[in-house]
Every structure is written in structure tokens, then in C-alpha cells.
Amino acid sequence: DQQVKQNSPSLSVQEGRISILNCDYTNSMFDYFLWYKKYPAEGPTFLISISSIKDKNEDGRFTVFLNKSAKHLSLHIVPSQPGDSAVYFCAATSRTYKYIFGTGTRLKVLA
Amino acid sequence: NAGVTQTPKFQVLKTGQSMTLQCAQDMNHNSMYWYRQDPGMGLRLIYYSASEGTTDKGEVPNGYNVSRLNKREFSLRLESAAPSQTSVYFCASSPREGVQPQHFGDGTRLSIL
């Protein structure tokens, strides 16, 4: 029973274009969502988060959108850069210790 | 600024051997966590410690024990390693439990033969 799903295992985008990474969740109790970025042989690093009281949060080139009715969030990276090539995990929580992670999407930005 | 430090980085064990994975954080965080990452499974919580002196089970605690030695250190022990415990183990910390991003170490790659 996967409560947080990232249905695209991989994504390739040209440098300078927009990257859109998607995440779906099933538990309506989730009210805080995060995106982490992971390079090989390193731990995940926090990228951006959004509370369920918002539908959008921006931080530089990164924007997260939340559609509560569809139980869907997405991460937009504009413009994409080769250094953005990594695995991206979304995570969700209902304000407990338990963060439920998706399986990750490997983004490759082509120069 | 070390953040979260995990040791060792790599380890190979034989089935039945025991092993302790070490984790230390220098950010004065209250909460610490152990995850495992397996292909196609994302990160799954093994155990967590909301604060010094407390520990609780996560999603996949069977076969593991933990010790919150002090505020800085949180260790994970495999008493009798099994091949199914071959994984990459990540330790993380956060200022407190709840709605806050976690800071991760670089992982321990554990193979059990």
C-alpha cells in the first residue's frame, strides 16, 4: 500500500527547459509535503516544502504546486541546469514523525 | 559543519553476524531517524527517536534495535544479519519531530552474504 507515488522513474530534459516532477498521494490526512534531491553516494538534501494551507511555494528556480482535491503535487524547475541531474523524492507527513517517501524520479538534464 | 555523520560507509557481513551502525549529528537536533533505501521502495523508516531518551518503531523495525546514546548519537544494531537486510541505511535528524525537514547523512551501504 504505497501512500506516496512517483509514477515516473526517470525524466530527461534539455538544459534551459522546464522540468516537471510529479507525485501523487492517497492519504487525505497528509498536510505537509517536501521534496528532496539526492546525488549518488550522498544522502538526500531538502529542497522545498509546502503546507496544505497553500497551493504554491517558490524558492528561486524551484516551485512546488499542491492540488489537494487531486491529491497531487508537482515540482517545477525553471530553467533546468545540468547540476539538477539527480534523483528527486517527494515525501508527505501528517505532522507526526512519520514521513512517507515516494520511490523517486531520476532527472537527467541534457546539456 | 559536518551535519550528520554515519560510520561505516560500507560494510559486508555474513548471515548471522551482528553489526552496529553509528550516527552522530552536531546540529543540536532533538529528533533522529533511521531509514533504509531499497531499489524501487523509496526510503522507509526503521526507528526514530523524538528526543533524547525515547525511541519508537517505524514502518520496518523487525530485525533491528536502536539506542539513543545521548542527544548527538543514535545507533542502529542488527543482532543477527539476514540477506534481506542488504540495503543502504540513512540516518537523519531534525530540530524536533513533526513538520520540519530532516537532514540526512551520506548513508551506510550494507551487504549481507
CB within 8 Å of A20: residues ≥ 6 apart: A74, A75, A76, A77
Q: What is the per-residue burial (b if ≥16 Cβ within 10 Å, else e) of B55-83?
A: beebebbeebebebeebbbbbbebeebee
Quick one: pLDDT band at residue B2, thresholds 50, 70, 90? confident
The owner of cell 513533526 is: B98
SS3 B14: coil
Q: What is the per-residue burial (b if ≥16 Cβ within 10 Å, else e) of A3-15?
A: bbbbeeeebebee
pLDDT digits (tens, 9 = 90+) for A70-111: 999 999 999 999 999 999 999 999 877 678 999 999 999 999
Which three cell numbers, joined as nine digits, stand for A103?
520511490
> What is the mean pLDDT of the segment spanning B58-81?
95
Percent of chain B with pLDDT over 70: 96
Q: Tell whether A97 is within 8 A of chain B (Cβ).
A: yes
pLDDT digits (tens, 9 = 90+) for B33-66: 999 999 888 899 999 998 898 999 999 999 999 9
Residue A97: what pLDDT? 67
- Containing A24, the helix (H) or strand (E) segment is strand A19-25
Residue B98: what pLDDT? 65
pLDDT digits (tens, 9 = 90+) for A13-57: 999 999 999 999 999 999 999 999 999 999 999 999 999 999 999
Contact B59 A98 (CB under 8 A): yes
Q: Tell whether A104 is within 8 A of chain B (Cβ).
A: yes
Q: Which residues of B touch A32 (CB under 8 A)?
A: 99
Q: For residue A95, give the nearest of B41, B98, B103 by CB distance.
A: B98
Backbone φ, ψ for residue A15 (5° rounding)? -55, 135
DSSP characters over A71-99: TEEEEEESS--GGG-EEEEEEEESSSS-P
Cα distances (Å, whole numbers) of residue A66 to A22, A32, B52: 10, 10, 34
Residue A59: exposed, middle, or buried by beta-carbon count in 10 A (0-12, 13-18, 19+)? exposed
Residue B96: what pLDDT? 73
Residue B25: what pLDDT? 97
Average per-residue pLDDT for chain B = 93
Q: Tell whether B102 is within 8 A of chain A (Cβ).
A: yes
Distance CA B80, CA B83 (A): 10
Residue A69: exposed, middle, or buried by beta-carbon count in 10 A (0-12, 13-18, 19+)? exposed
Distance CA A39, CA A108 (A): 12
Provide the residue type at A4 as one letter: V
